[in-house]
Structure 1
Amino acid sequence: MESTITVPAASGSISHESPQPVALTERIQTIDVVRGMALLGILLMNIPFFGRAFQLENEPLLRPGSTDYNVYAVITILFEGKMRALFSMLFGAGILIFTGRKEATMGSSSADFYYRRLLWMVLFGVIHEYVLMWVGDILFDYAISALFLFPFRNLRPRQLLICALVCVAIGGIKRERSLLEFREKREKYLQTVTLEKTHKKLTDTQKKDKEAWEKVVKESKPDLKEVNEFNEKMRSGYGTVYKTLEPENIRFHSMYLYLGIWDNLCMMLLGMALFKWGFFSNKLPTRTYWMTLLAGYGIGLPVSAVGMFLMQQRLTDPALFADAQWISPALGYDFQRALVGIGHASVLLLLYRSGMVKWLMRALSNIGQMAFSNYILQTLCCTLFFNGYGLGNFGKLDYHQLYYVVGIIWIINLLFSAIWLQFFRFGPLEWGWRSLTYWQQQLMRKPVLS
């Protein structure tokens, strides 16, 4: 029989009083711990986009052996996509915690509160993107994705897993189409070049085919002139930064909702299944966590390394890649990042269970409990440090030097969370979000102990 866990009402019986947020005594600390780690880990992937031109995203791959290349390889293989996958899984688990407790307490559907909560999250995401100037916002995309998940909350874990795999397949097909388009551009280019050698006049379509491949080759290496122009704009005032990032925001989120919704849905559904199995709440045998750790790392890390190698080949020699490779760098992307993400969570849950480094578990739990506030705090720190309306350091640091900034922001997250939770029940944004969700001001301060 399939083992699942449920989220009971705090009192063990149905109450028809006004619904309230989860009490501190009801929080599942292991979920806060894993969420805290995932939130800190997400900054490892976000920092290059905060501090350097988008055209330099994969530029370290063009310089094998350099410090930047080595740091990029470690970050890509161990963390890229994995921490976001883990954060998405926990978001899925949070859906079950939220709806389960509401329905157990109220004895009726939690749809009203669920959708109100997500619609406020959509607004927060728009503010995060277009006011705080963070192109990589996930609040908006998570909220849109989660709008579809309410009907799935009562499915059994295996059913949720099947749904997750369907989403993985759809996302994978979309990614593989990009490789086919890439190879098609190469084939059309070769056909056009062959015609040129016979001194035949090219049609307008053939000229465009040739230009399309030449553009691919050109864009595989960053244009330093474009990079310098982008740097200058990002070191300017707020208005210039806004005008520079607005089209990027529109482009990124249009593309991400087309491709990324399947990414979000598959990981959220997987997180719902794992929560029902008891994975995140530390309910499984120790042996199971060792198995998920070994499987996650043993399979996921090699696949991740292969993906990075293929991406490097595609950048350094697009023609060779198109002619010789039939495997996309994104092949198995969702599988490897889910496996490695679960491996990271397994390490943390084993440490938690062992009772070791309790100070670290407490610190991560504080960050996870205030994940929303800490996520926005990271944005504020980065934009004020890098953008022109702050300290104007955009484009001034090498790739590896960006991670010194990450370390400092992690310390800020740790201190802020620890100090704030000494006096308050929620983070400041968590308090605002809950108050808006329940349309009632929530009690903020902790009681003073005499």
Structure 2
Amino acid sequence: METINPSFTTDEAPDQSAIRPVLRTERIKTIDVIRGFALLGILLMNIPYFGLPFTHSTTLLNLPADHIDYQTNAVVSTVFEGTMRALFSMLFGASALLFLAKPDAPDRPYSVADYYYRRTLWLVVFGLFNAFILLWPGDILYTYGLCGLLLFPFRKMKPTRLLLIAGLCIVILLGKGLMKGLETKQNRQGYLTALQLEKQKRKLTSEQTKAKEAWLGLEKRVKPDPKKDAEIIKNMRGNYAAVFTFLMPLNVKFESIKFYHDFVWDALAMIFIGMALFKLGFFSNKLSARLYLITLVAGYGIGLTLGWLAFQGQVAFVKNPGQVIDSNAFPVQALYQIRRAATALGHASLLLLLFRSNVVPWLMQALANVGQMAFSNYLMQSMICTLIFYGYGLGYYGRLAFHELYYVVAGIWLFQIIFSAVWLRSFRMGPLEWVWRSLTYWKRQPMQREFIHEQSVVGAPAA
């Protein structure tokens, strides 16, 4: 059962009749811990795209297996690929339910919906700012903002139905992936047919020509291209205008075509899972230790196994795509959504077990601080990384080896852990959280922390 610290004076007691931001004393600390872990972890996946050409993945997969960059990539891909984003998405769904659980004002039916949609639309604006002003093509806020607009009708739905909807989103993604795979296989067959016809000096049809060109284009894309890498590096080491111009087509594609084709289903699948899990008490630490242990073992057992097989499949495809297609082997990558959801739940279960065991309270508090300021810390990562790597900053783009990028990650982690702890000693929330809440409620929110006895809300373990 959740308990709220009773150490308020009458003046300090929250007004339950008013729609207001959540107080520090009402936060669910386990959610902050998981959010902080996801916030720090997502930089593991983002840092290569901040510091290396977008084509870096093909180069890495073509390296010898004993190369440090290959080994680093193997670990990161197997353990973290997609999982931090999955956790973020799940917690976004949980946070939406927390916000929508607030009571309406007595004289304004659906007043919570007004605030919710204002909050969500501002998130879209922040996402556009991250993509087009801070110049981070991998922004996720825009996607969450648009997906968040769809969630209000589902706020009272039962967990089983939410999981069914999540499953439908995964099936849609699976269908899209299978169609793309079928198209690739058809192009391969068309290419092989074209080679035979050319040996016989027979003219190709337009369809056969297109299939041949498509397959040759795929083979070219999976091979390292130093010339293209050099062109990307040159543009990214330019001034702000040069980087903006170079990234504009990519940002526009990600915020439009890619969103409607892929990102929306990817995000919604995990968001609905997160909403269901929150209603079941998973994130608020209400389940039994035994159940968390089972989820940990099953999540890691399924997720890490599929992650390793998917990585090996990527290596094989990059080195010889024709052989992989011709073998008709099962495409493990098709299980991407299941794999990343399973591993994400393994991560979350491990954190919840550590939290309730109280063996590393300092780590739990550090993660909670980062998680409480996740919005500020997320955009801070964009600002720090672009200033380190882009040409209008220190210009380190393309200068570090893949494994060396993770030294930068460690430095940013340390900074954000210290900064979050120091900041929250004096202030109730992060700076951008304050801006977002003030815009949501259209009223300047109190920022300075009042030094009263505070205790976060923590779901009690099940009996």
TM-score class, shorter-chain normalisation, is over 0.9
8 Å CA contact retained: 2:58, 2:223: no
Question: Are 1:177 and 2:179 counterparts?
Answer: yes
Q: Deviations over 1:216-248 (max 9, x none)?
A: 111111211010011011111000000111111
Residue 267 (structure 2) aligns with? 264
- Of structures 1 and 2, the one with the larger relative CO (CA 8 A, separation 6+) is 2
Distance verdict in 2 for CA 1:85–1:241, change over 3 Å:
same
Q: Show the 5 A alignment for 1:81-230.
A: 81-103=82-104, 108-109=109-110, 110-230=112-232
Instruction: Give the Cα separation in 2 of the matches to 1:49 and 1:358.
Output: 33
What displacement does 1:102 show?
Answer: 4.1
CA distance in 2, matches of 1:21, 1:261: 28
Distance 2:41 2:58 in 1: 19
Note if 1:62 corresponds to 2:62.
yes
The CA RMSD measured in Å over matched residues stands at 2.2
Q: TM-score, normalised by structure 1?
A: 0.95
Tell me whether 1:286 sits opposite 2:289 in the alignment: yes
Following superposition, the deviation at residue 104 of structure 1 comes to 8.9
Q: 1:188 to 1:47 in 2, by over 3 A?
A: same
- Show structure 1 runs of 5+ residues with no match: none
Distance 1:346 1:358 in 2: 16
1:16 and 1:106 in contact (8 A); partners too: no
Tell me which amino acid in the other structure corresponds to 2:279.
Answer: K
Unpaired segments ≥5 residues, structure 2: 454-463
Distance in 2 between the 1:374 and 1:25 partners? 21
Give me the whole-angstrom Cα distance separating, in 2, the residues matched to 1:106 and 1:99: 17
Q: 1:21 maps to which residue? A: 21
Letter in 1 for 2:129: I
1:390 aligns with 2:393: yes
Aligned mates of 2:202, 2:219 — CA distance in 1: 24
In 2, distance between residues paired with 1:13 and 1:127? 34
How far apart are 1:202 and its partner, in Å? Answer: 2.5
Q: What residue in structure 2 maps to residue 80 of structure 1?
A: 81
User: For residues 328 and 107 of structure 2, what CA distance do their matches in structure 1 show?
Assistant: 57
Counterpart of 1:317, as a letter, is N
> Where in structure 2 are the equivalents of 1:232-251 lying within 5 Å?
232-251=234-253
Preserved CA contact (<8 Å) 1:14 1:104: no
Provide the C-alpha distance between the structure 1 equivalents of 2:379 and 2:107, rounded to a whole number of angstroms: 32
Q: Match for residue 444 of structure 1?
A: 447
Distance 2:365 2:14 in 1: 31
Residue 422 in structure 1 maps to residue 425 in structure 2: yes
The answer to whether the aligner puts 1:403 opposite 2:401 as a matched pair is no
**1:16 offset after TM fit, Å?**
4.0
> Which residue does the alignment assign to 2:458?
none
Name the CA distance, whole Å, in 2 between partners of 1:361 and 1:220: 41
Deviations 1:121-160 (A, max 9, x none): 1011001000000000000011111211111110111111
Return the alpha-carbon distance in structure 2 between the equivalents of residues 408 and 14 of structure 1: 42
Shift of 1:442: 0.1
Counterpart residue type for residue 376 of structure 1: L
Equivalent position SS for 2:333: coil
Q: Provide the rounded CA distance (Å) in 2 between the counterparts of 1:413 and 1:262.
A: 31
Q: Percent identity?
A: 47
SS state of the match for residue 316, structure 2? helix
| Structure 1 residue 372 displacement after superposition | 0.3
| Partner AA of 1:249 in structure 2 | N
Contact 1:92 1:272 (C-alpha < 8 Å) held by counterparts: yes
**Pairwise CA distance, 1:171:** 1.1
Q: Which residue of 2 aligns with 1:32?
A: 32
1:252 partnered with 2:263: no
Q: Secondary structure at the match of 2:202?
A: coil
